[in-house]
Amino acid sequence: MSSDSWPPALKDWVAKCLGQMTDSNRSEAQAELRQVIADAFAAQTLWTTDWAGVQLQSLLPKPTPALNHLKRKTLEGTVTNKKAKKTLKQSQANASQQYSNSSTSHSSSVFDPNDQAALNRRAQRFQREHELERIKALKASGGSVIFNGSSTSLKANAQHGHLFDNGKGFLSRSASPYGSGMVDGAPDDPEADPNVIDWDRHTIVGTSQAIFKDYLRLTTEPKPEQIRPYSVLQQTLLELKKRWRQKCSYQWICSQFKSLRQDLTIQRIKNEFTAQVYEIHARMALESGDMVEYTSCQATLKTLYDLGIPGRVEEFTAYRILMLLHGRNRSELNLFVGQLTPRQKADEAVQHALNVSRALSMGNYHALFILYDTAPNMGGYIMDHFIDRERVKALMVISKAYRTISLPFLQNELMFASLDTTRVFLVDHEAGFFTDPHSPDSQKNWDCRAAHVKLKEAFETKYRKVGIKGAI
């Protein structure tokens, strides 16, 4: 059973399950995953199952031992360091002992309201409970918790505040997908899975002041002195845009952008600036014909937009539609177009891409080449990668409908740059048949009947399979 035939919902669910697996449950989870898919395949329910609601039992959190009824589980969640937790546990132990003593005395005799010692013990117990409730309220409001004179701040370090808020309310450092972090090497949440890496604990903040830095693939743990902080990365982007306008080498620019993206990734900075970096690099890659880097940037931008980070969403939505047309991925295209919002559909670039899709599906090559000539933004650079394929298909239709047709007509209809380019294109596809081969290009007439068979062979050889570099 090939995964190519799986529905998109199943692929997304499998990717989600693989991301939740750890070393401790991987073998069991993979076995259960294969069994679930095999059962659905045998029952022919791959396309009808609501995969988003399927849960692997092996990925459910392991049950924690039942806590003693005297232990305050919710209060343990408010403790933010080992010293504070130790203090709380000691307080609970004392309360438990006093409660035990009190219970013993009550079991042997009726409570005496004149017993001053018993009254003092009850007052102390209520005071402790009141103090713990106050601590819980302080934490919820973002204050500091004080245990025995030591203060533990619950607010982010102001020195690294730019990593958490870009001034527009968007988190720039991605939140941990598994909840609470670590405190002094121990889980802050008693129910946290110790087998899951807490990325917040390992995130570093760079200290390098170098504006430019060549891209090198990381083979060791990154060091702060080798990573540029957020403020320096902003200066780097400004300088790179200036160098690009000065016609600097794309190879050098690409290396610098990959290094810039790497520093953002290492520091887990995800905000509007991050989206801008990937958008600019994607446009430069399109202009330079670098589809590998463009595809990489487009994939990351989709993730950023899904997080709600603002950017040129409509522009890159149009590019994504054109790329799906390039890959002739009709099933994914229909799914993607069905998810477009009214705002996206109203955008000029998105409307253009949808019109291209409509022209291709209807075989309307006349409308297609007009759209190619008027493509907004960088859409024409994407269409460059599949326009020759569509020209051959259009020539196959023309050669079947006409006996002869003038070369200038083909140039204008198929939006070639010149008559010479038109003639060379026909020759390269072994369809350079003319009724008057020795006439000037402006007077040449294309022999349609002789060229038709050769065009069909050329299409099967060059364009039947689509190869997209960097496709994922």
pLDDT computed for residue 130 by the predictor:
61
Q: Provide the residue range defining the domain that includes 36.
A: 8-55
Q: What is the mean pLDDT of residues 384-404?
A: 93
Determine the distance from the C-alpha atom of residue 148 to the mean position of all C-alpha atoms in its chain, rounded to a whole number: 45
In tens, the pLDDT along 443-466 reads 999 999 999 989 988 888 888 776
pLDDT computed for residue 235 by the predictor:
95
- Domain for residue 22, yes or no? yes
| Closest to 282 in 3D by CA, of 243, 247, 323, 248 | 323
Mention every residue, 6+ apart, whose C-beta is less than 8 A from residue 273.
Answer: 166, 172, 230, 233, 234, 237
Q: What is the mean pLDDT of residues 299-326?
A: 94
In tens, the pLDDT along 247-284 reads 899 999 999 999 999 999 999 999 999 999 999 999 99
Percent helix, percent strand, percent coil in the chain, to nearest 5:
60, 5, 35
C-alpha 227/C-alpha 266 separation (Å) is 8
In tens, the pLDDT along 48-89 reads 888 888 888 888 876 655 444 444 444 444 444 555 555 555
C-alpha 407/C-alpha 422 separation (Å) is 7
Count how many domains the chain has.
1
- Domain for residue 33, yes or no? yes
In tens, the pLDDT along 142-158 reads 444 444 344 433 333 33
- Domain for residue 43, yes or no? yes
In tens, the pLDDT along 162-184 reads 333 444 444 444 443 333 344 34
Q: 112: pLDDT confidence band, cut at 50, 70 and 90?
A: low
C-alpha 365/C-alpha 380 separation (Å) is 16
**DSSP single-letter state for residue 428:** H
- Domain for residue 38, yes or no? yes
- Domain for residue 328, yes or no? no
* Tokens standing for residue 64: 């924690």
Q: How many CB atoms lie within 10 A of CB 92?
A: 18
Structure pTM?
Answer: 0.58
Of 31-45, 155-169, 378-392, the range with the highest mean pLDDT is 378-392
C-alpha 400/C-alpha 423 separation (Å) is 19
- Domain for residue 15, yes or no? yes
Of 57 and 353, which is predicted with more confidence? 353
- Domain for residue 12, yes or no? yes
pLDDT computed for residue 33 by the predictor:
84
- Domain for residue 417, yes or no? no
C-alpha 228/C-alpha 210 separation (Å) is 7
pLDDT computed for residue 168 by the predictor:
42
